[in-house]
Chains A and B, each alone.
Chain A
């Protein structure tokens, strides 16, 4: 199996996340990291490749600091890393991002056939969860997405998903696009020596022209949406707190709900 895993570099959840004047996410090396759920994608990729002496190639699209996400992926055991970067990519929406990632997959597929593209469930900055579907559409490949359990049966993949009150099991022939949830596996922790080795590892850098994409196909120019306004919301005024010390807590809660007309849907 030759597996491409798509990983994103995102601001940490606990950092002060912000949008700049251009409506783009502000990212710095100090408070950004590999998107947590993408570690599950890397783990799934390593397991698929490992069971058939394969290769795992990590791909990210992002500014120069996004290389940190690739190094983490290499430390976990990926064999190669590709960084699609350059000013032309800046300001891309989901459509432009998926177009560029699909082009990167096609580029690698041209070297030797790619069997699976693995992704995380969602990038925890934008919570879009659409890149896997858009990449599948671009490539014309079947998708197994939001998968909680992934198994390889011969050359076909079987995935289980639990969504909207139903449990589904799907089978897909390769090549396919797969996204995994955070409960699909337990990502391995890289060892110190692997983390050190990854720091010096070589990373393939590709620009949009290397991927055969024109200027107007990528970044803000290749996007169909534009952020027109971004404003920080006012600070929360702080909670009204009561205690249950004298056993009145439940009644106070009921009164709060009734006084604020929040018992509307009651039966």
Chain B
């Protein structure tokens, strides 16, 4: 029996979430990666370590930012490789691309799964995820031959393959015509301040309205932990943080290993976007704040005192363990 072909899609850089998806793909079959941008030597090395033998590169120019075009590339790659399972690390953009690919492939669509496994009895692939702000656990099967799934970050730990491969990259021809009447007028990438991306970070430190706009303490703790910085909608509305730092139902959904929320009340809209996090820590002056109630660990007090003290203690510990 030949192993199933599984396609993993890298819409941007080959980073953690792509390697997590490859790790998951290895449990389903033989992974091939589709990249929408050229792969540099370090990318090929990372994919090789993850056991990927074959990588397809579709160069579409700016047209790759249109979901319909990226979706066409994914569908083409699935057809070329014969993959019946297609995995994308999730994001708003990835879900749009997944939708177009699923539409072209007549595939079933699973969104933001934390697990994915073949059911040998039915020959169906089953995805698991938490819904309703983490209060329910569901499993959903794809009942048709082809499945497209977006995979949430940090659900799987990326591991190297038992045997490393040397990844061969080959070009994939894809029609890059934009949908009728659609035109990209402008695209500007914002600087990232050298921190990991919010959606994929294993640790996230967030500040809410309780910061009163001063995020220095939040950033200090984030940096000592190698964490991403996030926030609530109120702080975005105030102009204290950019829009894509917003965590919640209408912002980014995150499920890091560690979530630390300081000066955040934990309103349902926020809560719905973070409750699947591994460990939840709250820092708040108010012991009755809803975030404190759902937390695993909470410190009651002023975040401007607590966060710098925690950062200092962790730094001291790290310095000592490095010194010894």
Contacts and interface: CB of A to CB of B under 8 A. Distances in A.
Interface of A: 13-14, 17-19, 23, 37, 93-95, 121-122, 124-130, 133-134, 136-138, 140-143, 145-146, 148, 156, 158, 162-174, 176, 181-183, 223-233, 236, 238-245, 247, 249-258, 260, 262-267
Contacts of A23: 138, 140
14 contacts: A19-B131, A133-B95, A162-B244, A164-B244, A166-B187, A172-B183, A223-B143, A224-B144, A230-B137, A239-B298, A241-B292, A250-B306, A257-B225, A257-B314
Given A133-B99, A168-B184, A244-B301, A18 B136 contact: yes
A258 B102 CA distance: 43
Nearest 3 interchain pairs by C-beta: A250-B309, A244-B301, A173-B181
B302 interface: yes
B299 A243 contact: yes
A199 B65 CA distance: 43
Nearest to A176: B181
A124 B249 contact: yes
A231 B187 CA distance: 43
Interface string B125-146: 0100011111111111111100
Contact of B67 (A18, A141, A145, A158): A145
Interface residues on B, range: 35 or more
B310 A142 contact: no
Contact of B109 (A122, A130, A241): A130
A162 B225 CA distance: 27
Interface stretch (B19-27, B30-38, B49-57, B278-286): B278-286
A252 to B, nearest CB: 6
A28 to B, nearest CB: 15
B interface: dominant SS:
mixed
Interface stretch (B76-84, B206-214, B250-258): B250-258
Interface string B198-228: 0101110000000000000000000111110
Contacts of B183: 170-172
Given A133-B99, A165-B189, A244-B302, A17 B135 contact: yes
A240 B309 CA distance: 19
Nearest to A233: B137
Nearest to A165: B190
B268 interface: yes
Contacts of B189: 165-166
Given A127-B249, A230-B139, A253-B313, 20 more contacts: A13-B272, A19-B132, A23-B138, A23-B140, A125-B132, A130-B99, A145-B67, A164-B244, A169-B186, A169-B187, A183-B233, A231-B138, A238-B293, A239-B294, A242-B297, A244-B300, A244-B301, A244-B302, A262-B257, A265-B202
B188 interface: yes
B95 A121 contact: no
A143 B67 contact: yes
